[in-house]
Amino acid sequence: MFETSLSIHTWKRFVNEGVLDSSRLNQRLVESWYRSREANVNPYMNKGRYILTDDLIYSKKEENSLLRNIALPHVNKMNQFINSLGMIALLIDPEGYVLSISGNSEVQNEASKINFVEGVRWTEGEVGTNAIGTALSIEEPIMVTGMEHYSVASHNWSCSASPIRNNDGKVIGILDVSCPMDRAHPYMLGIVTSVAYAIEREISIQIHKDEMELVLHSVNVIDAELPVVICNHMQVIICASKSIRKNIPNWMGLKVNEMAEYGFSYRKEVPIISKLHGRVIGNFLYLLNINDEINNSVDLSKVPSISFDFKGEVGTSKSFQHTLYEMKRVAHTDAIVCILGETGTGKEVIAQAIHENSTWKDGPFVAVNCGAIPKELTESELFGYTEGAFTGARRHGYKGKFEQAYDGTIFLDEIGEITHSMQVALLRVLQERKVTPVGSMKEIPLNIRIIAATHRDLRQLVNEGKFREDLYYRLHVYPIHVPPLRERKEDIPHFVQYFCKKNHWNISLPPEFFDRLMEYHWPGNIRELMNVLEHLHILFQSEIEDSFETLNWMDVLDLNKGNHSEAQLLQEKMEVLHYSASLTLREKIQKEQMTEALQKTRGNVLMAAKLLGVPRSTFYKRLKKFDVFDD
């Protein structure tokens, strides 16, 4: 056990009076305590204050994909050692946000009590002196134990953190190991520092390889007359076309946003996918000279098109607009796409849209629900089989889904459900792009685009040993997050109108209808919304115009006798459709038309209904509702 000589008295005297015996504390910590006091950090804070939402956590992870892809395998190896010691490991971005937390589950549970969790911001400005925040401030490895922490939230913890730098020496993240005080040991800092150094070395090697690969792409732009540049993942220009080199002699090493100072504006961006590891390593940026823009003299036909056709409803929400942007970026590449989202969010629609806007669009789109295939049939279903391969096999064999998708796209939905043995087989197919049918020795080459999807957290499955890490990195090349319906409620009216138009439902819907729809939390997402509308249509298809006005909710619930919980759920969904019974302008017009029709037919209801072109049953219901005979 590692102990600090700092006493509670020393801490209290400083936070209350600002008096500190600096001989009792490391100089780096002394400086940090004063920074914390000057920043007005509350020393009695008992937990972290600011935690990102799921969407923002996802964005942070994407922003730091290079760091995560290289660091997490090292963290996982380290977990094998620290787990038994009662410690946890954290990876933090350069702004102090926790990108991942792993290790001993009991310690993770204790950490959650002070909000020391994924997505929390753990900087000096937030919680005062601490290993993560102070390492970010001083850009050096540091260990902070017990009362050395400025706020009480961490007084029972010991933490060691080390910066992770890129080739330029810039800090791009922090690696931290933390544990309760009674499990602390001075070797923690040495472990963290050595692992951080190993990560730095691998990042340096990877960056060098990526930039060498980017240089190979320079042949595509080096002699171009159009203003085109190639930039790396840090938005630093490493290659430029002839027109750029001519106008900007010192172009090498400029940041993309600095091009505006030289009269160039951004026009189009096309991602560059690595052929070695399948991740985005940079971008082609097609620029526009301001003078050319004014003179309209640029031949835009030479700029590759990145148009995108989406046949579904896109709505107006920012969350889905970001998803659509990511779809546009990746559709024209050959990168493997991994679509992440809850059940019912429309992942297959997303996959099909990517296919239809890709170079594979003229080939088949083969969708496979990996979770719906019996485990014992998965291999034969995906890879096919030869005649006589097993009892019950078809006479001439069977062409598997991968082979069926040749020259097109295979969509592997619910990829997180496949067995461990199938994960091994699938990894081999992804690596070699060849498939061997069951019962055959012959390999069949594949020319396909691969898109996977899941509602599961694959990273968590990897940490739990349920999903192979190497397969995870093969599939997680270009992740696209699909937001749940509760995070894009402003799109609900667009969806309703889209479904009604698509299904030729001529329904007049009042504003209150949409208000109540948007109050519901929609756990089943878009699929549940479609089911509700379909259910209402089926119930009242014979009187669709009046369904929302004459709806008897008890009659609806009678359909669910014997299943009380389902009835309650349906009632909750139906209640969003309830609105005031007072006559609208449309209803008043209907009443006037009925009165006039009855006068013309001398009170003959059947003839009046025919005159107005409405069913007799509907006419009778309107008579009762509008009290026409009482007028």
Q: What tens digit of pLDDT does each residue of 231-265 get?
A: 887 788 988 888 888 888 888 888 888 887 888 87
φ, ψ of residue 412 to 5 degrees: the values are: -95, 90
Residue type, 97: Y
The three-state secondary structure class of 424 is helix
Fold of 585-630: Arc Repressor Mutant, subunit A (1.10.10)
DSSP string, 304-342: PP------S---S-HHHHHHHHHHHHHHTS---EEEE--
pLDDT at 199: 96
Give the CB-side neighbour count of residue 522, counting CA atoms within 13 A: 26
Roughly what angle, to the nearest 10 degrees, separates helices 27-38 and 8-17? 40
Contact between 434 and 446 (Cβ < 8 Å): yes
DSSP class of residue 51? B
pLDDT at 558: 36
| Least confident span in 407-421, 468-482, 530-544 | 530-544
Pairing of strands 98-103, 142-145: unpaired
Contact between 262 and 248 (Cβ < 8 Å): yes
pLDDT at 380: 85
Domain range list for the chain = 8-204, 221-302, 333-483, 486-575, 585-630
Residue type, 604: N
- Exposure class string for 80-114: b at 16+ Cβ within 10 A, else e: eebbebbbbbbbbbbebbbbbbbbbeebeebbeeb
Higher pLDDT, 37 or 3: 37
Higher pLDDT, 105 or 397: 105
Given a cut of 60, whether residue 547 has pLDDT beyond it is no
The three-state secondary structure class of 505 is coil
Residue type, 296: N
DSSP class of residue 520? S
Contact between 75 and 82 (Cβ < 8 Å): no
Given a cut of 60, whether residue 544 has pLDDT beyond it is no
The three-state secondary structure class of 630 is helix
Region of residue 474 (phi > 0: left; psi between -120 and 50: alpha; otherwise: beta): alpha
Contact between 119 and 113 (Cβ < 8 Å): no
| Least confident span in 210-214, 269-273, 367-371, 578-582 | 578-582
Residues in the chain: 631
Contact between 532 and 516 (Cβ < 8 Å): no
Given the structure tokens 């009216």, which residue do they identify? 493
Fold of 333-483: Rossmann fold (3.40.50)
pLDDT tens digits for range 16-50? 888 887 676 788 999 999 999 999 999 999 999 88
DSSP string, 183-233: G--THHHHHHHHHHHHHHHHHHHHHHHHHHHHHHGGGGTTT-SS-EEEEET
Q: Closest Cα partner for 87 from 14, 187, 9?
A: 187
Q: How confident is the model at residue 213 (pLDDT cuts 50, 70, 90)?
A: confident
pLDDT at 484: 93
Residue type, 556: V
pLDDT tens digits for range 279-334? 778 888 888 775 554 344 334 334 344 568 888 888 888 889 888 888 888 888 88
Fold of 486-575: Helicase, Ruva Protein; domain 3 (1.10.8)
The answer to whether domain 333-483 and domain 486-575 are alike in fold is no
Region of residue 384 (phi > 0: left; psi between -120 and 50: alpha; otherwise: beta): left
Contact between 594 and 626 (Cβ < 8 Å): yes
pLDDT at 583: 59
- Exposure class string for 221-251: b at 16+ Cβ within 10 A, else e: beeeebbbbbbbbbebbbbbbebbeeebeeb
The C-alpha angle with vertex 336 and arms to 282 and 58, in degrees rounded to 5, equals 70
Strand partners, 200: none
Q: How many H helices and E strands in the chain?
A: 25, 16
Six-digit token string for 340: 């992440």
What is the CATH architecture assignment of 8-204? Answer: 2-Layer Sandwich (3.30)
The three-state secondary structure class of 120 is strand
Given a cut of 60, whether residue 103 has pLDDT beyond it is yes
Roughly what angle, to the nearest 10 degrees, separates helices 54-63 and 65-82? 100
Contact between 408 and 366 (Cβ < 8 Å): yes
DSSP class of residue 151? S
DSSP string, 457-488: -HHHHHHTTSS-HHHHHHHTTEEEE---GGG-
- Between CA 245 and CA 258 the distance in angstroms is 15
Element (H, E) at 239: strand 237-240
pLDDT tens digits for range 123-139? 999 999 999 999 999 99
Alpha-helix residue ranges (DSSP H) falling in 332-434: 347-356, 378-383, 401-404, 420-432
Residue type, 56: L
| Least confident span in 41-50, 98-107, 112-121, 246-255 | 246-255
